[in-house]
Amino acid sequence: FPLNIGRAIADKESDAFLQTCIVMYLQTPVGTAVANVSLMELEKSFEEGEVPIETVCTIQHDLDVPDGYAWKVVVLWKAERSLKQVERMRVGGEAGKHEHQRGVVAPERSAKKPVTRVARRKTAGVSDPLLVGLVGLSLARKLRHAKKEHAPHKSSRVPVYAWNMIVYEIEITLEPTKSVGVPRMLSTSSVADAIPSSPVSVLSPPFEYLIGKHPNIVTHDIAQRFIIGLESDSKAYTGLTKMVDYFMKHKLQDALSSRQPAFDSLKQHYPHGFLGWCSKSDCLIEFEAMGKWADAYKCIVADGFGEDDMLKHLLFSYIFAFRHLDSRKWPKGKTVKIMDVEGLQMSHLNTPSFKFITQIAGALAVLFPQRMHQCFLVNAPTWWSMAWRLISPMIPEKVRAQMQVFNKKNKDKAKAAMLQWMTEDELPIKYGGKSTATLETSPYEQELRHFVAGLNS
């Protein structure tokens, strides 16, 4: 979207500069979305190394949505700027007669106090045919300028900032209005090229900016995992910014130095953690007894802890695992996971506890990409497909492809599948292996408990 900004509003300290904004109208499948971008945001994007800006739009005409959900449209863009001389106006012989160069802001000649206006609006398209943007300049109020005398038939040349707004991505999500979960993506329009599934030697300035601003949340390795997992710089940057927002919202940026009051309650009532080391896949073996969550949820609530406490604990465990237990860079630093759903009942599907744990599963998959080799979901009930329809929308497609489901009648198949990733000595006896390791005896769980004891002392 090319935008020409004249001298009249080029002064950063002027009222005109502060009051001028760009209005983007986006025709989307969920209605007309309107985004307001100030000149200050253009300057910020340019001065900080063309850092992409994320703008949340206002939906003018929503479609019907389920209770507890709302549409959200986000535009990811950056600004480029160049300075060039253009002929802004030519004053004719008759009073009030003059010409404007299109796209340049110029003062009108009038008997009244002059105002600044835009000659015309620009129209541009986005790669997705469903998303069409109309971009124009608007003023918050009339700008007052002292009149200047111009000699007849002479050209006045002034410096003009020529801006380019580059739209990386337009994302539409159906987002819970009251939820700890991560929004579900409906559709994405991206103009960025896919990248190969390998680490890049040098990260681009936007990623370096995030790392420098949020070192407790984003590292070079985490940025690499987002880029590789999402196969697009723009999608990776959007994912990282959402991760930062999520961590800040739930106060997780200092998780490794904060008390963990719910730790003992969750460890007591809900079996989950790191069983041991998988030599065959060179990674941690993760275990979770999801089938026991419904009863555990009630006990944890009875201990005086809410869902926010549970969320912080589960995310803290992952942060600790990949900062302390296995902090190696990609492609290392992953897990092989055994998720046992034995005990899950159909009546659990419509409970707050099941809704919460499925949202957490989705959040972990989105917030920690490229952290799992394979997940084996074992002892699934015969009606598991009903539960999967509720869980699967929360989990990215790539993560779903790494999950294998086995019911109680397929224990031999489950064993054979797991032995492709771990040795028989590392597979627990319950699942056909020879390992007697438990969460209580695991050296990794003991290290975690010792660390938390120090935080809570």
- 175 assigned to some structural domain: no
- 187 assigned to some structural domain: no
- Dihedral (CA of 427, 433, 434, 440) sign: positive
Is residue 423's pLDDT more than 70? yes
Which tokens hold the place of 143? 């700008």
Are 392 and 264 contained in the same domain? yes
Rounded Cα distance between 151 and 156, Å, is 9
The mean per-residue pLDDT over the stretch 442-452 comes to 97
Predicted TM-score (pTM) of this structure: 0.60
Are 351 and 305 contained in the same domain? yes
pLDDT of residue 425: 96
- 182 assigned to some structural domain: no
Is residue 225's pLDDT more than 50? yes
Give residue-wise pLDDT tens across range 306-336: 999 999 999 999 999 999 999 999 999 999 9
pLDDT higher for 161 or 37?
Answer: 37
Query: Sorting pLDDT into bands at 50, 70 and 90, what band is 397?
Result: confident
pLDDT of residue 399: 84
Give residue-wise pLDDT tens across range 42-67: 777 777 665 577 788 877 655 666 66
Lowest mean pLDDT among 101-115, 164-178, 367-381, 387-401: 101-115
Which residues, listed in sequence order, are joined to residue 76 by a DSSP beta bridge? Answer: 54, 169
What is the pLDDT of the chain when averaged over all its residues?
Answer: 76
The mean per-residue pLDDT over the stretch 7-33 comes to 69
Lowest mean pLDDT among 10-14, 205-209, 364-368: 10-14
pLDDT of residue 215: 92
Is residue 105's pLDDT more than 50? no
Highest mean pLDDT among 107-121, 123-137, 166-180, 212-226: 212-226
pLDDT of residue 265: 97
Rounded Cα distance between 117 and 143, Å, is 9
The mean per-residue pLDDT over the stretch 394-398 comes to 78
Q: Which residues contact 238 (CB under 8 A, 6 or more apart)?
A: 54, 74, 76, 169, 171
Highest mean pLDDT among 6-10, 381-385, 393-397: 381-385
Are 235 and 288 contained in the same domain? no
The total number of structural domains that make up the chain: 3
Are 198 and 136 contained in the same domain? no
The H or E element containing residue 313 is helix 307-320
pLDDT of residue 12: 63
Q: Which of 205, 223, 249 is the last residue of a domain?
A: 249
- 389 assigned to some structural domain: yes
Are 81 and 48 contained in the same domain? yes
Are 286 and 419 contained in the same domain? yes
Are 326 and 236 contained in the same domain? no
- 183 assigned to some structural domain: no
Q: Which domain holds residue 134?
A: 2-169
Are 203 and 76 contained in the same domain? no
Q: Are 407 and 379 in contact (CB under 8 A)?
A: yes
Alpha-helical (H) ranges within 202-292 are 205-213, 220-230, 233-249, 263-269
Is residue 427's pLDDT more than 90? yes
Helix axes 220-230, 233-249, angle to 10 degrees: 130
Are 333 and 384 contained in the same domain? yes
pLDDT of residue 382: 85
Q: Are 419 and 391 in contact (CB under 8 A)?
A: no
**Would you give the DSSP letter of residue 425?**
T
Which CATH number belongs to the domain containing residue 354 in this structure?
3.40.525.10
Query: Sorting pLDDT into bands at 50, 70 and 90, what band is 160?
Result: low
pLDDT of residue 356: 92
CA gyration radius, the chain? 28
Are 214 and 278 contained in the same domain? no
Rounded Cα distance between 234 and 256, Å, is 29
Give residue-wise pLDDT tens across range 278-296: 999 999 999 999 999 999 9
pLDDT of residue 332: 95
pLDDT of residue 80: 76
Which residues, listed in sequence order, are joined to residue 28 by a DSSP beta bridge? Answer: 31
Is residue 128's pLDDT more than 80? no
The percent of residues above 70 in pLDDT, for the chain, comes to: 68
- 199 assigned to some structural domain: yes
Lowest mean pLDDT among 100-109, 155-164, 448-457: 100-109
- 346 assigned to some structural domain: yes
Are 293 and 389 contained in the same domain? yes
pLDDT of residue 117: 30
Rounded Cα distance between 56 and 62, Å, is 15
The mean per-residue pLDDT over the stretch 74-101 comes to 53
Q: Look at residue 239 and give its three-state secondary structure.
A: helix
Are 221 and 158 contained in the same domain? no
- 176 assigned to some structural domain: no
